[in-house]
A and B are shown apart, each in its own frame.
Chain A
Amino acid sequence: QSALTQPPSASGSPGQSVTISCTGTSSDVGAYNYVSWYQQHPGKAPKLMIFEVTKRPSGVPDRFSGSKSGNTASLTVSGLQAEDEADYYCISYAGANNLGVFGTGTTVTVL
């Protein structure tokens, strides 16, 4: 399985929105509604922010939202805050006989 493609970086000013894309294929992102997003601060373990494309675990602010169109999933962070500066990774399910696949990661900078 090849890694899902994410832009290496994204940025925005406080209060603005930033959207990160996650592009896969018709065998993973495009085939299933099982895309998750993770936030990772330096030296810390990843934290689940979105699962099943659009769902937020309890405790995750509603500033974080997910969507999908075709083979591309997206994470939008609205109302950017300083603490949103982190690395973000997507994951997609890839079928019953396959390990899922991670995205390449995107570093979000709050200007």
Chain B
Amino acid sequence: QVQLQESGPGLVKPSETLSLTCTVSGYSISSGYYWGWIRQPPGKGLEWIGSIYHSGSTYYNPSLKSRVTISVDTSKNQFSLKLSSVTAADTAVYYCVFPPDYWGQGTLVTVSS
């Protein structure tokens, strides 16, 4: 059974960098075709942030591209998200996904001073 678990700070200050890690269990991350991050502002819809492919290629939502980095650490079976220069608009529940069927439980990140 594939399981994903997000971890990272729940509170980030404006202008700083949001950093989250997704730990994958029950499956080797190096075997997966691609992995990704999706976010959901409180009470709103879903927004795809980006994906990283087994080749190492990354694809980011153009609306966030200049601020996003997704990377993989196969030795730890983890992949990570970094979002720089955050503002209150980046407050959301962040989900790591093994699309289309496996999602983490999500972690709420609040951007506030």
Report if A and B associate in a common complex: no
Task: Tell me the A residues contacting B by CB distance below 8 Å.
Answer: none
User: What is the interface of chain B, defined by CB distance below 8 A to chain A?
Assistant: none
